[in-house]
Amino acid sequence: MKCLRCGNDTAEKVADAPDGSGAWEVYACSTCHYNWRTSEQDYILDPAKRDPRFQMTNEDIAHLGRFV
Ligand SMILES: [Zn+2]
């Protein structure tokens, strides 16, 4: 699945609603480590409505500091 933040096709489902209702799913991106739940508001789930200040490019990710 395409990541909402970085746009890479590296997001996968990592959880379902624990009550089995199917009310939501959680996805996680292995590139930028963004996580989201499918029950979030449109301004989180709709790429066209997301605040561009919170988006990341592959160049941004390549230049992130590393903590060791
Ligand atoms: Zn990502």
Taking the centre of ligand 1 as the mean of its atom positions, its distance from the CA of residue 59, in whole angstroms, is 12
Taking the centre of ligand 1 as the mean of its atom positions, its distance from the CA of residue 17, in whole angstroms, is 22
Amino acid at 56: M
36, 45 contact by CB (below 8 A)? yes
- Segment 1-22, tens digit of pLDDT: 999 999 999 999 999 999 999 9
What is the rounded distance in angstroms from the CA atom of residue 15 to the CA atom of residue 30? 15
In a domain, 21, yes or no: yes
Taking the centre of ligand 1 as the mean of its atom positions, its distance from the CA of residue 6, in whole angstroms, is 4
Measured from the Cβ of residue 59, the count of other Cβ atoms closer than 10 Å reads 7
Taking the centre of ligand 1 as the mean of its atom positions, its distance from the CA of residue 22, in whole angstroms, is 23
In a domain, 4, yes or no: no
What is the rounded distance in angstroms from the CA atom of residue 54 to the CA atom of residue 67? 21
Pick from 28, 26, 32: nearest CA to 55: 32
pLDDT over 70, % of the chain: 97
The pLDDT, as a whole number, for residue 67 is 67
| Domains held by the chain: number | 1
In a domain, 31, yes or no: yes
68 pLDDT more than 70: no
Q: What is the pTM of this model?
A: 0.87
Domain residues for the domain of 30 are 11-59
42, 52 contact by CB (below 8 A)? no
- Segment 23-42, tens digit of pLDDT: 999 999 999 999 999 999 99
Taking the centre of ligand 1 as the mean of its atom positions, its distance from the CA of residue 19, in whole angstroms, is 27
